[in-house]
Structure 1
Amino acid sequence: MENTIVILRLKHLKFLLIASLSLNLFAAIFFAKKLYVKYNASIETIEKKSDTTTTYWLKRNQLFEVLPKDKNTIVFLGNSLTQHFELAELFKNLNIRNRGINGDVIPAVIKRLSPITESCPKKIFIEIGINDLGRGAPKDTVIKNYEKLLERLQTECGSTRLFVQSIFPVANKSKTMAEYCSPKLNADIKFINQHLKEYSSLHDITFLDFHDSFVTDGELNPKFSVDGVHLTGEAYLLWTELLKPYVND
């Protein structure tokens, strides 16, 4: 009788242990998912709302203003895709300066050119435009603003070699970046890229058409992004290889 009671108690304890472990595991998974969603939402908020009046933009721009100026450098100018690019490490070049700001748009980039044009670096690589489109700017407006950006750089830094990188494709749909991801947006991106290519050829600017290297079936290859816009590590490695001939030249 006592053995039966002991066995029943052991089975009961085993059941409680399994139940407790299951609940803890469920809680951990739930918390991790909640944290992931919260983190992604914070990135998305920056992408949607960042402009020249936000604390985030002002802090990063202020940093750029006080950093040492050096004409013997290579500057990468852009939005979050550029900011998240570990340039110096991937190119093994400490003369590369990352001047990307999450959520940046072309008009905001124009406003923060002075710290760059003060020194006029050897090369400037530009990657910008997707946030303008994602926030509803017409493609003609994006083109007009892009031309203003390039005109100012050429006026103030005539000896600097300019490299315009094609705007990256996006996914045709996305749960977290819906307004950035659609077939129409991809069509606008291709239209703008074609115009930038033609403009560059007429103004002694090098246009780097990397767009198709990241596309499959007319949209951003899923293996290159987790949300339809931002790039994975594999995408950055490919981007690095495509850039090497121009950075190292």
Structure 2
Amino acid sequence: MPSSRTTIPPWALLSLATNGILLLTVTLLLTRYPTASVTPAPSGSLDARASETSATEASASSTPEEPQLGPRHQWTYEQWVAQLAREAEAIAANPPDRLAILAGDSISLWFPPELLPEELTWLNQGISGEVSSGLLDRLELFDNTNPEVIFVMIGINDLLRGVSPEAILNNYRLIIQDLRWVHPNAKVVVQSILPHRGSQASWEGSAKLSDIPNSQIRDLNRELKTIAAVEGAYFLDLYPLFANSQGNLRSELTTDGLHLNDRGYYIWRSALQVFQGLQL
């Protein structure tokens, strides 16, 4: 009779191996990023930031080292939703061979197009300040697209607004169920909520961050992993790649203690590439 040690499911071994390789990859990247080159984004990538007015583009080109904020950042939530709907419609009308969707809040929104893995065409469906219920309500925006994979990250704004973990988890269940029903051929990947720097953050809402211990985020991520498995989705655990020894967001990967800098997005990009190669 085989011992219990020989009955570990193959998917569990693959998950452990993937996490180990991700951690090793990040360790190497943290030491080499300053001299790493960035591959330009494919011409097929679609991002609303590329549709800024010519005046904004001229301003940005005059001071390339200092990113400029364009008109899109002054829109209302409804205007952002309308813009994302137009982008999704454009992709649906001219579908690429391999489409990936980023669905989430500002952390997904600000993923630099030139840092996204170039083997896919990306549709960014992030909105600044988004919560899980808001994302659930607007999933229909990209119903007519045919994605190969959909990456979801949502939840930090729920916690900032005092939404209970139970409500967040229930919304995640509904999000996964909706995506798997509408896009049966797509792989749905739940990405863990990232840590923050709490009282050390310079973000304007840092006082609220201090009320959300990173231990609570870790607990929530464990529940998300279980939900993903039950609902037939994948789980990409980014948390340990961005956390320091105290469990807080690494200072070298963030602009303000909550959002990521280019180095942080480079780490995320590498995690996507390793995860896609091993799991998808």
Give TM-score scaled by structure 1 length. 0.72
Q: Which residue of 2 aligns with 1:161?
A: 187
Aligned position for 1:60: 83
Partner of 1:102: 128
Once residues 201 and 55 of structure 1 are traced to their aligned partners in structure 2, the CA distance between those partners, rounded to angstroms, is 33
* Aligned counterpart for 1:117 among listed residues 143, 159, 165: 143
* RMSD between aligned residues: 2.6
Equivalent residue in structure 1 for 2:264, among 229, 235, 243? 235
How far apart, CA to CA, are the structure 1 residues paired with 2:225 and 2:152? 13
State how 1:105-184 maps to structure 2 within 5 Å. Answer: 105-173=131-199, 174-175=201-202, 176-182=204-210, 184=212
Identity %: 26
Larger radius of gyration: 1
The structural deviation recorded for 1:96 is: 1.8
Residues in 2 aligned to 1:242 and 1:119: alpha-carbon distance in whole angstroms: 25
Structure 1, unmatched stretches of 5+, are: 1-35
Q: SS in structure 1 opposite 2:151?
A: strand
SS in 1 for 2:194: coil
The letter for the 1-side match of 2:122 is I
| Separation (CA, whole Å) in 2 of partners of 1:92 and 1:180 | 36
The code of the aligned residue for 1:118 comes to: N
The alpha-carbon distance between structure 1 residues 138 and 63, as it changes in their structure 2 partners (threshold 3 A), is: same
Q: Give the number of the structure whose residues are more often helix, by fraction.
A: 1
Which TM-score applies when normalising by structure 2? 0.65
| In 1, Cα distance between equivalents of 2:261 and 2:114 | 18
Closer/same/farther in 2, CA of residues 58 and 218 from structure 1, 3 Å limit: same
Contact 1:117–1:156 (8 Å) recurs in 2:
yes
Structure 2 residue identity aligned to 1:245: V
AA at the equivalent of 2:231: H
Where 2:257 maps in the other structure, the secondary structure is coil
- Give me the whole-angstrom Cα distance separating, in 2, the residues matched to 1:183 and 1:224: 22
What code does the residue aligned with 2:189 have?
A: F
CA distance in 2, matches of 1:212, 1:183: 21
Q: Which amino acid aligns with 1:132?
A: D
> Contact (CA 8 Å) 1:177, 1:229: kept in 2 or not?
no
* Alpha-carbon distance, 1:246 to partner: 3.4
- 2:158/2:168 contact within 8 Å kept: yes
The answer to whether the 8 A contact 1:163-1:206 is kept is yes
Contact 2:254 2:260 in 1 (8 A): yes
Structure with the larger RCO, 1 or 2 (CA within 8 Å, 6+ apart): 2
Match of 1:77 among 91, 103, 109: 103
CA distance, structure 1, for counterparts of residue 147 and residue 228 of structure 2: 19
1:221 aligns with 2:250: yes
Runs of 4+ in 1 over 4 A off after TM superposition: none
Summarize the Cα distance change of 1:152–1:179 in structure 2 as closer, same or farther, 3 Å threshold.
Answer: farther
Q: Which of 65, 69, 91 is the aligned partner of 2:117?
A: 91
- Distance in 1 (CA, whole Å) between partners of 2:259 and 2:208 is 11
CA distance in 2 between counterparts of 1:56 and 1:228 reads: 28
The count of residues paired between Structure 1 and Structure 2 equals: 203
* Residues 54 and 183 (structure 1), Cα distance of their counterparts in 2 relative to 1, 3 Å cut: closer
| Distance apart, 1:116 and its partner CA | 2.0
CA contact (8 A) 1:171 1:228 kept: yes
SS in 1 for 2:198: coil
Q: Which residue in 2 is equivalent to 1:29?
A: none
